[in-house]
């Protein structure tokens, strides 16, 4: 746990950016509040580690399983043409993956998605909750003990 990290503290800074969809094996899936790309989500590792090579082999396997599970749920929910995956963490070094569904007729198709677009697309709290519920229904939660 890191006292200055919002993924560890799960405080207001986190709530301003995302809402929780579900606990998974070794990570937590969140819906990104900027929905410029419909279904944009974030998968954050449960422990404060910086790089993939800092995880134990089994933790890494579970993390990749969680990532695949999350991506499949997004595919089923939003039917994008492709899902983009991005691990940055220059500023917030807690390991997390951006899952960004991409649409042929939508923004940034064929290129890298804009991480912090100048104009974001916000939804109502009710719409966020509905989307989170839909994604949650498509997750495979078998064996998830949290």
Q: Which residues bind Zn ion (CB under 5 A)?
A: 2, 5, 7-8, 48, 94
Min separation Cβ 95 and Zn ion, Å: 8
Q: What is the 3-state secondary structure (H, E, C) of 104-121?
A: CCCCCCCCCCCCCCCCCC
In the complex with Zn ion, the residue whose CB is nearer, 8 or 123, is 8
In the complex with Zn ion, the residue whose CB is nearer, 2 or 120, is 2
In the complex with Zn ion, the residue whose CB is nearer, 55 or 73, is 55
Min separation Cβ 1 and Zn ion, Å: 7
Min separation Cβ 33 and Zn ion, Å: 19
Min separation Cβ 35 and Zn ion, Å: 24
Distance CA 95, CA 139 (A): 21
In the complex with Zn ion, the residue whose CB is nearer, 7 or 128, is 7
């Amino acid at each position: 746990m890191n006292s200055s990290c919002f993924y560890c503290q799960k405080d207001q800074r986190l709530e301003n950016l995302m809402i929780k969809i579900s606990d998974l094996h070794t990570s937590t899936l969140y819906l990104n509040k900027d929905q410029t790309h419909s279904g944009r989500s974030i998968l954050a590792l449960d422990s404060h580690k910086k790089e993939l090579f800092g995880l134990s082999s089994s933790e890494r396997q579970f993390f990749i399983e969680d990532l695949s599970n999350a991506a499949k749920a997004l595919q089923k929910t939003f039917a994008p043409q492709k899902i983009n995956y991005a691990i940055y963490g220059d500023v917030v070094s807690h390991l997390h993956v951006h899952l960004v569904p991409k649409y042929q007729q939508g923004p940034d198709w064929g290129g890298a998605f804009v991480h912090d677009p100048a104009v974001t697309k916000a939804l109502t709290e009710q719409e966020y909750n509905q989307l989170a519920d839909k994604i949650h229904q498509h997750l495979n939660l078998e064996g998830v003990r949290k």
